[in-house]
Structure 1
Amino acid sequence: MNKKFINSTLLALLCFTQSQAQQQKNNATAASQRQQKIDQFWTDRAQIKPLEKLSVAPLSLVYTLPAKVWEEALPLGNGQLGAMVFGGVADERIQFNESTLWAGAPQDPNNPKGKTYLPRIQQLLFEGKNKEAVELADSTLMGIPKRIKPYQSLGELWLDMPHLQVEQYQRSLDLETAIQQSSYQYKGIKYTRESFISAPANAMVIQYSANKKQALDLNFSWKRAQDFACLTDPKDPSQLLLQGQIGQSGSEGEKGTKFSAIAKVFLKGGRLTNTAGRITITGADEITLLITAATDYPGLKQISYPAKKTGIDPLVSCRETMRTLAKSDYQQLKQAHIADYQHFFKRVQLDLADAEQQKWKQVPTDSLIKLTRGQQQIPSALISKFFQFGRYLLISSSRPGHMPANLQGLWAWQMDPPWNADFHTNINLQMNYWPAELTNLSELHQPLFDLTSALIPFGERTARTIYGARGWVVHHLTDAWGYTAPADGVQGIWPMGSAWLAQHPWEHYSYTGDRQFLKEQAYPIMKGAARFILDFMIQIPSDKPFAGYWTTNPSHSPENSFILPSGEVSSFTYGATMDTQIIRDLLQNYIEASTLLDNDPDFRQECQAALQKLIPTQISKETGRIMEWIEDYQETEVNHRHTSHLFGLHPSNQISIANTPDLAEAAKKTLLSRGDHGTGWSLAWKINMWNRLHDGEHSYKLLYNLISEKTLPNLFDNHPPFQIDGNFGATAAIAEMLLQSQVRDKNNNYLIELLPALSKHINKGSITGLKARGNISVNIQWSNGVLENAELIPSKNGPICISYAGKQIQVEGIKGKSIQITSQMF
């Protein structure tokens, strides 16, 4: 390699790295300035003395001061309504979300030039003329418009009380009941505020109480950054209305989604006045606030292009909810909420023994995270809490009949949140649902399937218009309105989103064995995604590596780039490794589903033929690592946050120690080169990958880095900024340290692996209620790093192959009958 080439390559890499670093710095600065601009309007006037002696329950988040910024507030939710509770005293702030409050509308963004110019773009990429291909693709394949509109905050309820000097303050979130509580003393009187968001009631419920009568005085009003009005309800003086429509403040363009919210007061004692959009309460014994919200979003099953008027009046919807709730008192609402929530949450219990358990009972959650940074070890109490917090977030942000969890789950405080708080389909949306089946929350997977089904007609239009293909496609992101075209920039030309999304309904079937679901919802999703892939793939020319094989063109390894032999930095290519691994996963799963259902034998045969023409996953002769692209290009960023070319290791099962030891060793080298740090979600993904390599110590090391470096005071994952996928990915990772079931045995049954990635730092504990593929319930107990007992409860008769410590046994399963396993059996 000549000196001139080396210098040009280094210069290109340096410029790229500096430019990327500066852009990240600019983004962080802008985000910080936006945060300061918002938060300067909210401060708690009270002087606060914390509770002198804490007693922190194992599954509670506890703090001794109110939140000062949004990332310290505590999340509540029921899948439709979300709230972030700051826990203020004299000045309280509760920020609300409604899962369907998206700007924008259904549209046809597909570039009509696409299929005309696609062959030329493919030719340019095969010829190594990447820059020309990028320029042509940018003008002919990109969506019109290139951007989607954001998910938005609903608004904020601002409350104030005349308590300016208080003591014995604490606030908490109980993960076992999904109830937030704040308490303190003022002039010898104890004040308590309890909040939850109920799925049965479809409302947030807040109760103010004191241990002295006539001690409650309260004022509140609605706030929002734009497009709203706060009004006294003319029909009911106990109700305060928030009403608006996205875009109503602007002078140009169509108006968007309409929204409404009602805050209704129920009093015991005291007096209420409601004037000019502000409610004032004086001398009350007890105050209960009920808050509900709605939009005129038509629902995923009704979205269409062109858009149809829904006829939904969100204010009418809110009033109907309030009329229903008027029949229930606070205790009835609370009991119904707890019963509904615990129906999901109580299914899994994780207990990690900790000799210092008593010590942590007096440490606030934010302090516990800070203490972790200096220890190189995570308190077991924090691991359990972090694991269950992930399950709590999924229960709170993803419920059947509502939207799936987005980049921030359900919670976003801005009008224009980071990355639009959209559905990012090149890892993030999928990662949100990794814990759903494994941690026994299978029903909560359904919103993702419903979104996927709703995307099919939009994706079919994109496939026809841009690629001249059948089937359906989505690229690296989508929204509530069915956007499936390439977005943002040429890096968005990544037509693998539908193929990856199609993995999830198959996983749901693999865990549940629900044949009706497989036939009615999973199969159409999978077949349409496979149909697009077969039409989209192109044969590699005779002068290129792997001539005659089928590949994707154009292609990206999401958000990463490489250096061409010419020294040019590029990310646009053909045949990225991740594409081939996703396609192999999809086709194998589709073939199995088609065989089970005895459907479409001719198309099944097409898929089987295509499988034989896919490029095998390659190992670099130079580095010994998994190759990220079809050619062994030099990387621009060895520690890149995406580890896309290890899709075959996780979440797929194409790479395993048992079946592909050479690829597993190459995957290990790849992970080592990527490093042990990164963004929050990136660390979560890598923990799952180390789990699959059965390296519990490395998994634990990255879990430590995630919790100590990338976890916010309220346990939200920090990209930065906040992204919820790291929470969900880490919850799945903790579970897979203890149980895996993705590998097939010699009879093609799922192999149940017990404690496959257990670290010496969590060498004693128990977990109950996990699920293995094949619809098997699993309970595990271990001590001194050794399996003591495992209980398997199968849902059907048949052989079960179980692995522990590198050895396997087979037992005969009987539906519903407990199978006891000990380490002595191996």
Structure 2
Amino acid sequence: MPVHSVHDTQPADRWENAFLSGNGEYGIMVFGHPHQERIVHNHHRYVLPNESLTMRPPAVADRLEHVRDLILAGDRERAQREFSDGRAMAWTQSFHPGHVLHLDAQAEAGPVEGYHRGTDFTTGEVRVTWTDGEREWQRRAFVSRTDAVAVVEITGPRLDLVVRLSGELPGRPPEVTFSSSAEATGDGEACLTVVGAYPPGPGAAEFAGVTRAVVTGGRVTVKADAARVEGATRVVLLTRMDRSPTPVDVTGLRTALLALPAEYDALLARHAPVHGELYGRAELTLGASDGDSPLPVGELLALADPETLNPALVEALFHSGRYLLLSSSGVLPPRLTGLWLGAWGAAWSGDYTTDANINLQMAGAVLTGMPELIAPYAALIGAQIDDWRTNARTIYGTRGILAPSRTDGEHGLLFHLDDDWPWTMWLAGADWLLYPLYEYWQATGDDAFLAGTLAPWLVEAAVFFEDFLTREDDDGHAVLVPSYSPEVGPKDGPGVAGVNATMDVAAARHALTTAAGVCAHLGVEQAAADRWRALAERLPPYRVDDHGALAEWAWPGLATAEDHRHISHLYPVWPLHDITPDDTPDLAAAAREALLRRGDENTSAHGSLHRALVAARLKDGGTAKANILKILGRNMVFRSLMTSHNPDLEIYNADAAHCLPAVVTEMLVDSRPGIVEVLPALPPEWPSGSLRGVETRAGVRVDELSWDVREGVVRVVLTSPRERDIALVCRGAMDSRQTLRLLSHSPTGVILPFA
């Protein structure tokens, strides 16, 4: 049976190994020695104000035709300078941690034996237990999805603790100041408050945390900013947080806490069914041995091998990844670090890097049975869509929308650029970022969402290209110029700007045809839809280079740079299904050649898993496996099962943790409208197993997929919300393709003998 938890027999010696819980708004990190435990509290909207709040996109629309001429003439560096405004590179507001809850034993703390800490993925609880040889102590913690509160309970035969809140975390800028206080409020209760003040200027003024401490069986006194607990048998700590452009309403936070029951079990009983129902929809088994699955995390990670995909470790990371994605999705989708950070100074501002990372993290949300997690992702875009319109108008003088390469979650204006990084020229961003919403509609058939939210944005993505595509080549193809392939330029000569970046070509085609398709589905904008289809037909074809590889630039003379972490030119393969082995076999072979020729550069997590997703789409289980092993075989998983950006645990980063469930799912189930394919990229290490609760782009759910290669049997159970025909494909089966008639809400089971 799969294990829906992680546990350790050693305390976390660093914040990166902290066990994690979250409700999509607050996140907590539990680590440290049992007599000196620390719980870092994070909030999704905590970002450090900086000068980016007053920045706007460069007003360069009047230079567009001149810049186009320069690029077409080969003067790429000058074109980049002309399409900027001389600005230096500026970064988004940096995500930062909130405060620390200190739990320190008073003098003469006893010995620690039988230490155990664990996270239960089904409830979101983090538990720490130990004994002194005879008596047991326990700490439990979770963050409630129903009551918006972080909850900690400490129990034991005698609790003598000092409890306080502080801003004492590494890397805090000196201009960010903290004040802490404590107040006895009577009846065995105290209130702790910590307020962080940002430096003067635009943006928020303060962020704060308030903790209500309720003591049973002992007494609590207050000294300075700490509450001292003596002789208690139970302590319950309830915390709420906020950030404000004016002084935080601390009184309001205190009042809200007083309205909650100071009963851990009662609060958990309200939270656990909501969290658990979402988490429990999908499950993976890969035939892990009974001895491997329940191992402590240190021994589990020791199963990692640079040559073999250990089933127990992959199962654990599949379930942990879904848990972490769920826990960090709520008011916003996950950031580069999910929802957790234990030190200031996050790499890349801990923001939303939109040219690859956020889509990779969200890739498993719908597929692994949690389509509700698309709501915060849509909310992020919806709050910024006006800024995307401003970008298009200011930079290109067009209608429609142009997305930035990064955002801090507060606005979407395109200001992150300089002469060497021409993000003004990345045209694919809106289509790329809208794709997860389109996939959600394909899977759920939610026409209300399509009509009310998504379709207008898809129309604006198409309208941008309708206005932008005014040049054509000698063959009458529309020319995308300027164009940029994140984050790499053509191999030859200076400058990274170019013409017809394959990602931009794919995005333009997808934006135009998708807008036309959804408008036809909704019965609107028919004349415009005809124009968009006609324009899509005029886009250039994909180009295959002299190596037989799909070229990064569909323009003669622009050669592909082979060693880079990004593989943006494979956008037609994943996620678009524009190039597939069945429909476009020659282009699929070229795409595979491009994938194999691309070097790893710095073996970044997002690069490896992006490659694995593309390989799975190309039915190449060996290459998908090899890229997963770049994560598992290079020490990129912390003891929390959160992951790093680079090998050897360099840079705390959620890309791999959140993306890996999607990779495993795509290796086992591929889907598009009308087609569900099972076991498209099965590696040899998984000769038997099962996957349940997968949603598909065909609008049907895979209730169960189970297989046993040795016995030569695959079993599939599908359910559709309406009557429809589905092509079920299994390349290894005797009947590799068959058509099933699915009745409404009626599970249909099929057994497929292997050839």
TM-score band, normalised by shorter chain: over 0.9
Q: What is the Cα deviation at residue 364 of structure 1?
A: 2.1
| Preserved contact between residue 754 and residue 804 of structure 1 (Cα < 8 Å) | yes
3-state SS of 2:259 partner: helix
| Preserved contact between residue 503 and residue 585 of structure 1 (Cα < 8 Å) | no
What 5-or-longer segments of structure 1 have no aligned partner?
1-55, 298-310, 743-748
Quick check: 338-347 or 628-637, which moved more?
A: 628-637
The structure 2 residue matched to 1:126, chosen from 72, 81, 86, is 72
Read off the aligned partner of 2:313 and give its amino acid letter: L
* Partner of residue 380, structure 1: 311
Could you tell me how far apart the structure 2 residues matched to 1:418 and 1:259 are? Answer: 21
Q: What is the Cα deviation at residue 388 of structure 1?
A: 1.0
1:549 aligns with 2:477: yes
Could you tell me how far apart the structure 2 residues matched to 1:113 and 1:394 are? Answer: 38
* Partner of residue 135, structure 1: 81
Q: What is the Cα deviation at residue 111 of structure 1?
A: 4.5
Could you tell me how far apart the structure 1 residues matched to 2:42 and 2:596 are? Answer: 40
Q: What is the Cα deviation at residue 108 of structure 1?
A: 5.8
Could you tell me how far apart the structure 1 residues matched to 2:444 and 2:560 are? Answer: 42
Q: What is the Cα deviation at residue 428 of structure 1?
A: 1.0
* Partner of residue 766, structure 1: 690
3-state SS of 1:800 partner: strand
* Partner of residue 588, structure 1: 513
3-state SS of 1:761 partner: coil
* Partner of residue 604, structure 2: 679
User: Does the C-alpha gap of structure 1 residues 534 and 245 become closer, same or farther in structure 2, counting only changes over 3 Å?
Assistant: farther
Could you tell me how far apart the structure 2 residues matched to 1:283 and 1:234 are? Answer: 17
* Partner of residue 16, structure 1: none
The structure 1 residue matched to 2:45, chosen from 76, 100, 105, is 100
Read off the aligned partner of 2:722 and give its amino acid letter: K
Read off the aligned partner of 2:717 and give its amino acid letter: E
Q: What is the Cα deviation at residue 421 of structure 1?
A: 1.1
1:256 aligns with 2:191: no
Could you tell me how far apart the structure 2 residues matched to 1:740 and 1:817 are? Answer: 22
3-state SS of 1:392 partner: helix
The structure 2 residue matched to 1:704, chosen from 629, 640, 664, is 629
1:525 aligns with 2:488: no
1:156 aligns with 2:85: no
3-state SS of 1:433 partner: helix
Quick check: 477-486 or 119-128, which moved more?
A: 477-486
Deviations 1:346-365 (A, max 9, x none): 111212212x322453x321
| Preserved contact between residue 158 and residue 223 of structure 1 (Cα < 8 Å) | no
Could you tell me how far apart the structure 1 residues matched to 2:501 and 2:362 are? Answer: 25
* Partner of residue 256, structure 2: 321
What 5-or-longer segments of structure 2 have no aligned partner?
none
Alignment of 1:566-715 (within 5 A): 568-620=493-545, 622-631=546-555, 638-675=562-599, 678-709=603-634, 710-715=636-641
Read off the aligned partner of 1:704 and give its amino acid letter: L
Could you tell me how far apart the structure 2 residues matched to 1:701 and 1:364 are? Answer: 26
Alignment of 1:669-818 (within 5 A): 669-675=593-599, 678-709=603-634, 710-720=636-646, 721-742=651-672, 749-778=673-702, 779-784=704-709, 786-805=712-731, 807-818=736-747
Alignment of 1:386-401 (within 5 A): 386-399=317-330
* Partner of residue 17, structure 1: none
User: Does the C-alpha gap of structure 1 residues 722 and 551 become closer, same or farther in structure 2, counting only changes over 3 Å?
Assistant: farther
The structure 1 residue matched to 2:360, chosen from 431, 438, 450, is 431
| Preserved contact between residue 557 and residue 628 of structure 1 (Cα < 8 Å) | yes
Read off the aligned partner of 1:727 and give its amino acid letter: A
User: Does the C-alpha gap of structure 1 residues 504 and 372 become closer, same or farther in structure 2, counting only changes over 3 Å?
Assistant: closer
The structure 2 residue matched to 1:333, chosen from 237, 254, 267, is 267
Greater helix fraction, Structure 1 or Structure 2: 1
Read off the aligned partner of 1:576 and give its amino acid letter: A
Q: What is the Cα deviation at residue 437 of structure 1?
A: 1.0
The structure 2 residue matched to 1:562, chosen from 490, 497, 506, is 490
Deviations 1:183-242 (A, max 9, x none): 1122532211111111112111111112x3x34434333224333211224867611001
1:243 aligns with 2:187: no
Deviations 1:34-74 (A, max 9, x none): xxxxxxxxxxxxxxxxxxxxxx9822212222112222111
Give RMSD over aligned pairs. Answer: 2.3
Q: What is the Cα deviation at residue 166 of structure 1?
A: 1.6
Read off the aligned partner of 1:395 and give its amino acid letter: L
Deviations 1:375-431 (A, max 9, x none): x223312111100111101210112xx122111111123333111111111111111
3-state SS of 2:685 partner: helix
Percentage identity across aligned positions? 25
| Preserved contact between residue 292 and residue 312 of structure 2 (Cα < 8 Å) | no
User: Does the C-alpha gap of structure 1 residues 91 and 328 become closer, same or farther in structure 2, counting only changes over 3 Å?
Assistant: closer
Could you tell me how far apart the structure 2 residues matched to 1:456 and 1:370 are? Answer: 45
* TM norm structure 2: 0.92
Could you tell me how far apart the structure 1 residues matched to 2:372 and 2:667 are? Answer: 23
Alignment of 1:256-405 (within 5 A): 256-296=204-244, 313-325=248-260, 327=261, 329-354=263-288, 356-361=289-294, 363-373=295-305, 376-399=307-330, 402-405=331-334
Q: What is the Cα deviation at residue 147 of structure 1?
A: 2.9
Q: What is the Cα deviation at residue 793 of structure 1?
A: 0.9
Q: What is the Cα deviation at residue 345 of structure 1?
A: 0.8
* Partner of residue 70, structure 1: 15
- May I ask how many residue pairs the two structures share in their alignment? 730
Could you tell me how far apart the structure 1 residues matched to 2:441 and 2:486 are? Answer: 28
Read off the aligned partner of 1:151 and give its amino acid letter: F
* Partner of residue 44, structure 1: none
| Preserved contact between residue 62 and residue 364 of structure 1 (Cα < 8 Å) | yes
3-state SS of 1:335 partner: helix
Could you tell me how far apart the structure 2 residues matched to 1:624 and 1:825 are? Answer: 33
